[in-house]
Amino acid sequence: MKIHIREIDHVVIRATNVEAMARFYCDVLGCSVEKEQRDLGLTQLRAGRSLIDLLQVGGRLDHAENGAPGTGRNMDHVCLRIDPFDAEALKAHLAEHGARLGELGLRYGADGYGQSLYLFDPEGNMVELKGPPEAARVTSL
pLDDT in tens, 6-16: 888 899 898 99
pTM above 0.95, yes or no: no
Residue ending a domain, among 30, 63, 96, is 63
Q: How far is CA 10 from the centre of its chain?
A: 10
Quick check: bond before 132 cis, omega within 30? no
Same domain, 21 and 47: yes
Which pLDDT band holds residue 3 (cuts at 50, 70, 90)? Answer: low
Pair 85, 133 in one domain: yes
CATH number of the domain that 57 lies in?
3.10.180.10
Q: Which structural domain, as residue segments, surrounds residue 2?
A: 1-63
Distance CA 86, CA 84 (A): 6
Instruction: Give the model confidence (pLDDT) of 91-130 as tens digits.
Output: 999 999 999 999 999 998 888 899 999 999 998 888 999 9
Asked whether residue 68 is assigned to any structural domain, the reply reads no
* Shared domain check, 139 and 111: yes
